[in-house]
């Protein structure tokens, strides 16, 4: 065991993952010569001319890809709660008797609950994902997987593929429109889901790529979000899922009064931060109060006649309205939080679909988060050093997603975390968090209903907010106040077994997830 920069113990080696490198600080690796890390070439293929890629069912296409024990299979989660392709594909592989699969989905949602039996029986033995939730998340925390799972950020996932940590044997990519050669998009069709940002790296690197669509269109499919030269096979199927289930839960603006109150304070924080000016670039994360901040920022931009540069990230109808109102010059869309934004993505030249690598991969020459001014993010827990947990719940279960949280926090000039100070009887502002996903070094300010805590490293921000008469306070004081209200929760009982690791965006390990006692 060695201690990482957050003083968290990290094993130097973990069976099923190999050598681990401890987290060293947000940008330290870069300064030490980050770009020297070994990378792998994309898959290289060749094909005879005038040969068909079409298959009438997924099973047939998967068979062509030589499925084998120990393979890595990847998916995107753009259909979120509405996806039905992941479970179909895993079922087919299980029926073929394939074992020991590494599941590398860009994330896992409520749509994937029924994959649990395949984990229990050993069809799937390892998971790489941004998020794990529900019964799968509980089972993972209890140690159901034979190998440790890896929680990565959206940007970190691209890095993992490029450095060969994730070597995708088979990428199965759902598309709401595609042609016979595999040019594919999510921007139109009955199951339109918007951006295909997370799937692009899979298409570029996977040894075999299958496009599955319920809307085979005349050649060529436009826009070609994924291009034919990466695609081995195309499957026409009845449905890829239910796009109506994309906009739900974490991707809708809250109506809860407390969340709205926090969002209002966060909006005022931004307005008084010094960053609220013409040319501002802006992102709000999914869930709770954060999406709601967009609503207040929109009003404030109109009132103060502010014109922004770009909106980034998960895109809602709110964002599209702001583009159309001229409040922002452009939207960069790595993921659409509402199927309704698809037509804007298809038609508006400044609503731009971007790959996850361009969004947030630390391993390139300037991803979008490097140019971001302000990001608003949620939290399950925040500790007195501003470290944020967005992955494990109060009982140690895995119930969230890393997403672009640590990516955007690292890049943005102003990282605002919004959360209530406690939920029910559970403290949110705590002395220690169960797990760290985003290091406090990259968080500037935490906004709660009981006041605003500014990271001591950001003296100018604190001064600006105080001058504006805002309720700024020490996070340690807030933590004590919350502790008095909720009491200190019982410590989660863990075994010594590490069931999963949380990878920081640069590939180092920021935390481990230990098995909960049952």
Pick 408 or 486: Cβ nearer a second copy? 408
The 3-state DSSP class for residue 111 equals helix
Do residues 382 and 429 lie in contact, with contact meaning Cβ atoms separated by under 8 Å?
A: yes
DSSP state of 181: T
**Which one among 41, 97, 257, 469 touches a second copy, defined by CB under 8 A?**
41
Backbone dihedral angles phi then psi of residue 194, each to the nearest 5 degrees: 95, -135
**Which one among 300, 370, 432, 492 touches a second copy, defined by CB under 8 A?**
370
Closest-CA residue to 261 (of 446, 89, 448, 115): 448
Give dist(CA 161, CA 201) in Å, integer: 7
Contact between 39 and a second copy (CB under 8 A)? yes
Residues 244-303 that bind a second copy (CB under 8 A): none
Give dist(CA 498, CA 12) in Å, integer: 12
Give dist(CA 100, CA 95) in Å, integer: 13
Among 213-221, 335-343, 446-454, 507-515, which window interacts with a second copy (CB under 8 A)? Answer: 213-221
Nearest distance, CB of residue 315 and a second copy, angstroms: 15
**Which one among 16, 21, 24, 42 touches a second copy, defined by CB under 8 A?**
42
| Binding string, residues 325-364; x marks residues near a second copy by CB under 8 A | ----xx-x----------------xx-x-x--xx--xxxx
Contact between 468 and a second copy (CB under 8 A)? no
Pick 55 or 133: Cβ nearer a second copy? 55
Contact between 405 and a second copy (CB under 8 A)? no
The 3-state DSSP class for residue 445 equals strand
Contact between 469 and a second copy (CB under 8 A)? no
Q: What residues contact residue 410 under an 8 Å CB cut-off, 6+ apart? A: 26, 27, 362, 369, 442, 505
Contact between 230 and a second copy (CB under 8 A)? yes
3-state DSSP of 71-92: CEEEECCCCHHHECHHHHHHHH
- Please give the C-alpha separations between residue 351 and each of 144, 154, 288, 330, 337, in angstroms, as whole numbers: 42, 20, 25, 6, 14
Nearest distance, CB of residue 475 and a second copy, angstroms: 24
Closest-CA residue to 509 (of 406, 409, 420, 411): 406
Give dist(CA 61, CA 54) in Å, integer: 8
Nearest distance, CB of residue 228 and a second copy, angstroms: 5
For 323, the token pair is 């583009």
Among 7-15, 40-48, 270-278, 414-422, which window interacts with a second copy (CB under 8 A)? Answer: 40-48
Burial class (CB in 10 A: 0-12, 13-18, 19+), 326: exposed
Pick 152 or 295: Cβ nearer a second copy? 152
Nearest distance, CB of residue 92 and a second copy, angstroms: 22
Length of the chain: 518
Pick 218 or 488: Cβ nearer a second copy? 218
Contact between 241 and a second copy (CB under 8 A)? no
Among 220-228, 269-277, 291-299, 475-483, which window interacts with a second copy (CB under 8 A)? Answer: 220-228
Pick 1 or 44: Cβ nearer a second copy? 44
For the beta carbon of residue 487, count every other beta carbon within 10 angstroms. 10
Pick 59 or 180: Cβ nearer a second copy? 180
Nearest distance, CB of residue 150 and a second copy, angstroms: 20
For 309, the token pair is 């540069």
Binding site for a second copy (CB under 8 A): 27, 30-31, 34-35, 37, 39-42, 44-51, 53, 162, 181-182, 209, 218-220, 222-224, 227-232, 309-310, 329-330, 332, 349-350, 352, 354, 357-358, 361-367, 369-372, 410-411, 413
């Amino acid at each position: 065991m060695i201690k990482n920069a957050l003083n968290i113990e990290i094993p130097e080696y973990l069976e099923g993952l190999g050598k681990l490198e401890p987290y060293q600080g947000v940008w330290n690796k870069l300064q030490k010569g980050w770009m020297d890390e070994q990378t792998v070439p994309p898959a290289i293929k060749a094909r005879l001319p005038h040969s068909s890629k079409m298959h009438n069912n997924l099973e047939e296409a998967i068979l062509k890809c030589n499925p084998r024990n120990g393979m890595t299979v990847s998916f995107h989660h753009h259909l979120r709660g509405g996806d039905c392709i992941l479970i179909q594909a895993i079922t087919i592989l299980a029926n073929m008797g394939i074992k020991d699969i590494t599941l590398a989905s860009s994330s896992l949602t409520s749509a994937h609950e029924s994959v649990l039996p395949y984990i229990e029986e050993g069809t799937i033995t390892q998971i790489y994902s941004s998020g794990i939730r529900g019964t799968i998340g509980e089972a993972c925390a209890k140690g159901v997987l034979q190998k440790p799972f890896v929680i990565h950020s959206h940007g970190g996932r691209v890095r993992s593929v490029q450095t060969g940590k994730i070597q995708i044997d088979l990428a199965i990519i759902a598309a709401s429109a595609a042609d016979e050669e595999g040019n594919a998009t999510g921007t139109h069709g009955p199951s339109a889901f918007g951006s295909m940002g997370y799937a692009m790296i899979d298409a570029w690197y996977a040894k075999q790529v299958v496009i599955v669509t319920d809307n085979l269109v005349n050649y060529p499919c436009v826009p070609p979000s994924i291009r034919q030269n990466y695609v081995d096979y195309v499957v026409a199927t009845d449905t890829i899922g239910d796009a109506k289930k994309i906009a739900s839960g974490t991707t809708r603006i809250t109506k809860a009064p407390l969340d709205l109150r926090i969002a209002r304070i966060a909006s005022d924080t931004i307005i008084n931060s010094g960053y609220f000016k013409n040319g501002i670039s802006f992102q709000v994360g999914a869930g709770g109060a954060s999406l709601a901040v967009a609503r207040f920022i929109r009003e404030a931009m109109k009132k103060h006649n502010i014109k922004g540069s770009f909106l980034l990230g998960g895109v809602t109808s709110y964002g599209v309205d702001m583009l159309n109102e001229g409040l922002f010059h452009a939207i960069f869309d790595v993921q659409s939080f509402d199927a309704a934004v698809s037509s804007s993505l298809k038609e508006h030249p400044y609503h731009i679909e971007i790959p996850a690598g361009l969004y947030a991969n630390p391993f390139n020459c300037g991803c979008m988060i490097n140019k971001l001014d302000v990001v608003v993010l949620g939290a399950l827990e925040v500790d007195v050093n501003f470290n944020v947990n967005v992955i494990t719940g109060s009982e140690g279960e895995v119930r969230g997603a890393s997403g672009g949280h640590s990516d955007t926090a690292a890049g943005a000039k102003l990282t605002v975390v919004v959360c209530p100070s406690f939920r029910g009887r559970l403290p949110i502002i705590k002395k220690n968090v169960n797990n760290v996903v985003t290091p406090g070094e990259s968080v500037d300010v935490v906004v709660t209903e009981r006041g605003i805590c500014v990271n001591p490293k950001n003296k100018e921000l604190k001064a600006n907010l105080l001058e504006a008469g805002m309720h700024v306070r020490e996070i340690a004081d807030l933590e004590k106040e919350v502790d008095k209200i909720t009491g200190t929760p019982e410590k989660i009982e863990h075994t010594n077994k590490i069931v999963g690791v949380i990878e920081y965006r640069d590939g180092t390990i920021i935390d481990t997830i230990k098995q909960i006692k049952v």
